[in-house]
């Protein structure tokens, strides 16, 4: 008998399936596409190792570390090379290294003297955290308009492919927002948080990781390891078309089969979850449809031999949305991790589109290539040739956009879910957009379902997870 039907074999669904099996439960995992991993995956082609989505995870990604330890795959985690510590921002016709020391901060031309002084005043600026703060209002208040424009804005488009003026500070940057609320300053709050974290980890005998991390075989090796541990049914090419709850039992249809179980986990993006909830909880569907999704186009490319040294070595660059340059940013993948490009060559990944440039999705491959050359000619300040290799990947619904009212949307969704005991949601839109949030939601969903199936009070199970 099936205990749990899981829809979606992205990383959140995989984590939940694996954990539930560890608890002795029978799981059926249904995936619309022909592979597991969802947005996480690695493609090897022509000597390149290209990520389909995420490249790396930060040291602070606690759920990722938990997963790595639980799977026992610590040895396949690789730190980013130290060269990747250097990041660049385009301003007024050239790339500026993001300052990493006080000396660099004083010397940089990325910000004017006035903006530097304003930024340094941050600990003395009175706290004013409001629940409806946009990320723009928050960063301007804390660091001043110029730093928000040239530093925080580009990072926001790098993470969310979003609009800093539409994202909510509390929803999209909950830690930062909490630092101001609790300590009156983002910088002081972050220092306090780091001190407490160091102390806690030392007491637990654990190491404090620093920097960025990836996997030797690419991110796909993580989802590959997870998939290989799942012993139960994983049905690929099985899009769930319909879900119902009849007499307290969940029933789903894939077009090939109908499956019933006492519990159902929807580990899919919010609009896909909305479609599957139309019959079960119709009032939840419009709430999930209110979460906007950013489209993203990825371009993996190897520069022509004549373009060696086109970009300064480092992690890559970001571009504020102020110039006639459509690229959001470019990651120098082969500088960050080894084994990404053929010997002696470099592999770059450029990001396009996002909520401020949704039309980019409509461009043909030739137009994308033309734009890539044009943009990098402007950013590098020298003529760029056609790349030696190009691979374009398009995602219509790539990254959820967490607006100021996002926490209330999710709170309302969770309240309404109590009307369908045994129904649980997982995914990266619930409490953050990174892989870490997706993994965390997979663990939480498994715990909630385990408690539900063992007869615990659903409200208590939800609270405990
Ligand atoms: C271009 C890009 C770059 C990114 N970069 C980073 C990064 O550097 N670092 C980072 O931490 N995060 C990054 N992310 C975010 C990260 O990829 C996500 O947080 C994570 O992969 C989300 O996992 P998920 O399981 O919630 O959803 P998904 O990966 O979207 O998985 C959902 C799965 O459900 C399946 N599905 C949907 N509907 C149905 C249905 N009806 N029936 C059956 N199956 C269905 C889909 O096919 C999919 O496989 C990036 C994302 C993208 C798109």
Pick from 397, 454, 401, 451: nearest CA to 424: 451
CA 284–ligand 1 middle distance (angstroms): 21
For the CA of 428, the nearest atom of ligand 1: 26
For residue 149, the 8-state DSSP code is I
Measured in whole angstroms, how far is the alpha carbon of residue 394 from the centre of its chain?
Answer: 16
Choosing from 5, 8, 28, 318 the residue with most ligand 1 atoms within 8 A of its CB, the one to mutate for a pocket test is 8
Residue pLDDT, tens place only, 158-204: 999 999 999 999 999 999 999 999 999 999 999 999 999 999 989 98
Q: Predicted confidence band at 456 (pLDDT cuts at 50, 70, 90)?
A: low
Instruction: Give which of 288, 343, 239 is closest to 31, Cα–Cα.
Output: 239
**CA 180/CA 199 separation, integer angstroms:** 21
Fold designation for 4-38+223-291+403-464: FAD/NAD(P)-binding domain (3.50.50)
DSSP 344: T
Q: How far is the CA of 69 from the centre of ligand 1 (A)?
A: 22
Q: What is the pTM of this model?
A: 0.94
Closest residue (by CA) to atom 7 of ligand 1?
54
* Residue whose CA lies nearest to ligand 1 atom number 8: 54
Provide DSSP, 251-313. EEE-SS-EEEESEEEE-S-HHHHHHHHTTT-TTHHHHHHTS-EEEEEEEEEE--GGGTTSS-S
Instruction: Indicate if the pLDDT at residue 459 is higher than 70.
Output: no
User: 214: Cβ below 6 Å to ligand 1?
Assistant: no
User: Quick one: pLDDT band at residue 413, thresholds 50, 70, 90?
Assistant: very high
Domain ranges of the chain: 4-38+223-291+403-464, 111-203, 293-400
The pLDDT assigned to 83 comes to 85
Share of the chain above pLDDT 90, in %: 92
Q: Residue 458 above 60 pLDDT? A: no
Please answer whether residues 33 and 185 qualify as being in contact, where contact means their C-beta atoms are separated by less than 8 angstroms: no
Please state, for a pLDDT cut of 70, what percent of the chain lies above it: 98
pLDDT, tens digit, for every residue of 84-112?
A: 889 999 999 999 999 999 999 999 999 99
Q: Is the CB of 329 under 6 A from ligand 1?
A: no
- pLDDT above 80 for 422: yes
Answer yes or no: is the C-beta of 29 below 6 A from any ligand 1 atom: no
> What is the pLDDT, as a whole number, of residue 98?
96
**Alpha-helix residue ranges (DSSP H) falling in 326-434:** 333-336, 365-380, 406-417
| Neighbour tally for 80: CB within 10 Å | 18
CA torsion, ordered 380, 382, 387, 391, to nearest 10 deg: 30
pLDDT band at 210 (very low <50, low <70, confident <90, very high): confident
45 Cα distance to chain centroid: 24
List the CATH code of the domain at 111-203: 1.10.3110.10
Which residues lie closer than 8 Å to 47 by C-beta, 6 or more apart?
341, 342, 343, 345
Q: Supply the CATH classification number for the domain 293-400.
A: 3.90.660.20
437 Cα nearest atom in ligand 1: 19
């Amino acid at each position: 008998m099936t205990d749990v039907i899981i829809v979606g074999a992205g990383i959140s669904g995989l984590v939940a399936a694996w954990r539930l099996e560890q608890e002795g439960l029978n799981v059926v995992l249904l995936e619309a596409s022909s592979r597991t991993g969802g947005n996480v995956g690695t493609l090897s082609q022509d000597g390149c190792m290209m990520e389909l989505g995420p490249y790396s995870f930060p040291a602070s990604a606690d759920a990722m570390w938990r997963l790595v330890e639980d799977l026992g795959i610590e040895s396949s985690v690789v730190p980013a090379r130290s060269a990747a510590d250097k990041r660049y921002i385009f301003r007024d016709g050239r790339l500026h290294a993001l300052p990493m020391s006080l000396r660099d901060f004083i010397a940089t031309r990325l910000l004017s003297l006035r903006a530097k002084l304003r930024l340094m005043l941050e600990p003395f600026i009175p706290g004013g955290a409001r629940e409806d703060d946009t990320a723009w209002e928050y960063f301007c208040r804390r660091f001043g308009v110029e730093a928000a424009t040239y530093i925080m804005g580009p990072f926001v488009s790098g993470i969310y492919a979003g609009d800093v003026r539409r994202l909510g500070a509390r929803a999209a940057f909950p830690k930062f927002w909490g630092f101001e609320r609790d300590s009156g300053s983002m910088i002081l709050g972050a220092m306090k948080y780091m001190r407490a974290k160091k102390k806690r980890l030392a007491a637990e005998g654990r190491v404090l990781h620093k920097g960025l991390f990836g996997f030797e075989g690419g991110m796909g090796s993580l989802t590959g390891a997870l998939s290989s541990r799942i012993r139960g049914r994983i049905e690929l090419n099985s899009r769930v078309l319909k879900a119902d709850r009849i007499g307290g039992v969940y029933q789903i249809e894939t077009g090939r089969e109908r499956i019933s179980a006492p519990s159902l986990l929807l580990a899919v993006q919010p609009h896909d979850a909305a479609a599957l909830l139309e019959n079960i909880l119709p009032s939840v569907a419009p709430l999930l449809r209110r979460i906007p999704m950013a489209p993203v186009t990825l371009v993996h490319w190897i520069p022509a031999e004549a373009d060696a040294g086109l970009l300064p070595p480092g992690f890559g660059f970001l571009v504020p949305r102020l110039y006639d340059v459509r690229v959001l940013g470019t990651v120098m993948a082969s500088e960050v991790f080894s084994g990404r490009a053929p010997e002696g060559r470099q592999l770059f990944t450029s990001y396009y589109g996002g909520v401020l440039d949704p039309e980019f999705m409509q461009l043909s491959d030739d137009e994308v290539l033309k734009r890539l050359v044009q943009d990098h000619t402007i950013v590098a300040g020298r003529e760029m040739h056609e790349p030696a290799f190009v691979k374009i990947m398009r995602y219509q619904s790539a990254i959820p956009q967490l607006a100021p009212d996002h926490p209330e949307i999710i709170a309302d969704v969770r309240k309404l879910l109590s009307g369908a005991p045994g129904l649980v949601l997982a995914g990266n839109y619930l409490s953050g957009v990174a892989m870490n949030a997706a993994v965390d939601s997979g663990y939480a969903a498994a715990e909630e379902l385990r408690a539900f199936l063992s007869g615990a009070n659903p409200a208590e199970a939800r609270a405990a997870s």
